[in-house]
Structure 1
Amino acid sequence: PTEAEWEYAAYGLIGNSLGERVIERRLWPWNGHALRNPEEKYIGEMLANFKRGRGDNMGTAGKLNDNADITNPVYAYWPNDYGLYNMAGNVSEWVMDIYRPLSLDDDDDFRPFRGNVFTALEFDEEGYLMEKDSLGHIPRRTVSEEENIGRRNYQRADNINHLDGDYSSHIDASHWSPSYEDGEEAPESDYMYEYGQKSLINDNVRVFKGGSWNDRAYFMNPGTRRFLEENLETSYLGFRCAMDRVGSPVGLGGRR
């Protein structure tokens, strides 16, 4: 999922509203600000698998506070109001977005996403589709500027660093690349973020969210975000599959 889709799913904002009025604050994927279950039957039990403090992954001997020192089975904790499990704690999750340290004012207000690279199917010289690769994928190529003439939604294929790391991001980018002249290739995001010198941000770092068994409670808030090189892995980071719903938003038999 994209970062926006993931946050929407994590908050599950259907159990804290009445009509169109939000009647209960939600800091986590459940109501309120507490990390323990308030229901009488389960009162005091942890609602997620996380790290309470340095060296405290599961509580004191004889009384485990969240039932796990590392990962725990998916159904060990309660789902959110969408019926989704582990949207906070247990394992952090990758999202599709390329990371940039931006505020909400820098994003579109509808389904924002950073990472678009527009491609087209690749054909051979005779006009036939290229043979599939070893994984069964049909080869694709990035679209050319000539193919985009007349388009209004985008002009170039790679939009990962659109207005954030490319030449047009800054009024005067001469301090990035003093030798920049008209006609030369514009500086990429490595110039802006000085990758490998002052930051670890480039066009290959993806956002991950959700908090894990190895994180403090702060990172379980759906709005928090971190990043990592997309080809790296850790013991506390995974992913979940997502798909768009096709058809009526209320399902069969709903209002028309």
Structure 2
Amino acid sequence: MSKTLLRSGSAIFSLAMLFALQGCGLFGDNGEDFGQLVGVQGREYDGMPTPYGMVQIPAGTFHTGQSDEDPIASQINFNRQITIGGFYMDDTEITNNEYRQFIYEVQEGQGEYDFLVGRGANFVEDELYPDTTVWSRNYTHHMGDPLVQYYWSHPAFDNYPVVGVDWEAAQVFCKWRTAYLNNYRESNGMFVMPNFRLPSEAEWEYAARGGRDMAKYPWGGPYIRNSKGCMLANFKPGRGNYFDDGFAYTAPVAAYFANDFGLYDMSGNVSEWCEDAYNPAATAIVWDLNPTYNDVNEPLKVVRGGAWKDISYFLQTGTRTFAHKDSTTAYTGFRCAMTYIGRSSGNEF
């Protein structure tokens, strides 16, 4: 008998013994492994559930960068092919009422979330509350007082995107959201989920294009109205004609059509904080697989998407802008992302 046949017979016998042992319980009634290398047992995993309010963004390759002319000759977003791994992303911007849940939980958590803030009793009110004064101080000779009084506090605006939140507060929100979810999962014997975080600039742009490579806008383009003449986002059409899209200021989230990934308001409504520090040469510096530019000493952070007060140029998927991480405005909000753990073949979902 050949060695090959002997080895084959031995392998079949070993498999038969393995199944026989499993049939009597996991290697016996007491989980004994009989000295065999079987790995640590009891770690069954059925895959990641989609977090509430998020959509699945499949892995893929696309061309980042300017999708149309660069009229201001910024030369800060050259075209480049990159690959993005699978991740989850909020289908809308974080709303006033969602952010309010965060404020309430941190305030009433009786020390449970002190590890997130840890800067004294006044930190929540002083640093995490939305800055409502942005509605009056961001604009000269503007009657913003009604929005100062009502935009954050009144239930009429619960489903509108939160504004007046700086990059640092958005980071704390992500840490709280992670702890809030995983505290529940651990208490119920489930594996923890990856951290919520701000999307990288590359992830944001990839998600905004919705699988349409080189798309000028999340809906494709090149126009800002559909075939019926309806505006496709909340921005500033023309010169001072803010209401032409149906809303003078912000709009309720998901008031316009989603892109092909199921994401709303990736252009317009409010611009959005990204994780990356801003560098005009970042495109040439970062890697071409899941790129991100981190610099803890750089106070400028990337902002994407354009807002209700912007012209259409800033709505383009390839337009880069930035703001100081401590700045609060009436036109900047955020949404969260979460890394997908598993296959990266593009069809993991």
TM-score bracket relative to the smaller structure: 0.5 to 0.7
Residues 141-152 of structure 1 aligned to structure 2 (within 5 Å): none
The answer to whether the aligner puts 1:250 opposite 2:347 as a matched pair is: yes
Helix, strand or coil for the counterpart of 2:205? helix
C-alpha separation in 2, matches of 1:77 and 1:66: 10
C-alpha separation in 1, matches of 2:281 and 2:248: 34
C-alpha separation in 2, matches of 1:45 and 1:111: 35
Give unpaired runs (5+ residues) of structure 2. Answer: 1-198
Which residue is equivalent to 1:4?
Answer: 202
C-alpha separation in 1, matches of 2:299 and 2:251: 30
Residues 25-64 of structure 1 aligned to structure 2 (within 5 Å): 26-38=215-227, 43-58=228-243
Question: TM-score, normalising length from structure 1?
Answer: 0.55
The Cα shift of 1:251 comes to 4.3
C-alpha separation in 1, matches of 2:328 and 2:287: 30
Q: Name which of structure 1's ranges 25-34 and 212-221 shifts more when overlaid on structure 2.
A: 25-34
Report Cα offsets for 1:31-76 as digits up to 9, x if no partner: 23011112xxxx1110000001332211xxxxxx311010001121
Report Cα offsets for 1:201-222 as digits up to 9, x if no partner: x711101010000100000111
C-alpha separation in 2, matches of 1:34 and 1:246: 37
The Cα shift of 1:103 comes to 5.9
The Cα shift of 1:113 comes to 1.1
Report if aligned partners of 2:216, 2:318 keep a CA contact under 8 Å in 1: no
C-alpha separation in 2, matches of 1:4 and 1:251: 20
Residue identity in the other structure for 1:93: E
The answer to whether the aligner puts 1:231 opposite 2:322 as a matched pair is: no
Which residue is equivalent to 1:213?
Answer: 308
- Partner residue of 1:87 out of 266, 283, 297: 266
- Partner residue of 1:66 out of 227, 237, 245: 245
In the comparison of the two structures, how many residue pairs are matched? Answer: 149
Residue identity in the other structure for 1:82: F
The answer to whether the aligner puts 1:241 opposite 2:330 as a matched pair is: no
CA RMSD between the two structures:
1.8
In our comparison, the structure showing a higher alpha carbon Rg is 2
Residues 132-171 of structure 1 aligned to structure 2 (within 5 Å): 160=295
Give unpaired runs (5+ residues) of structure 1. Answer: 17-21, 59-64, 116-159, 162-201
The answer to whether the aligner puts 1:110 opposite 2:289 as a matched pair is: yes
Identity of aligned residues (%): 46
C-alpha separation in 1, matches of 2:283 and 2:293: 13
The structure where helix makes up a greater share of residues is 2
Helix, strand or coil for the counterpart of 1:73? coil
Distance 1:44 1:53, change over 3 A: closer
Helix, strand or coil for the counterpart of 2:322? strand
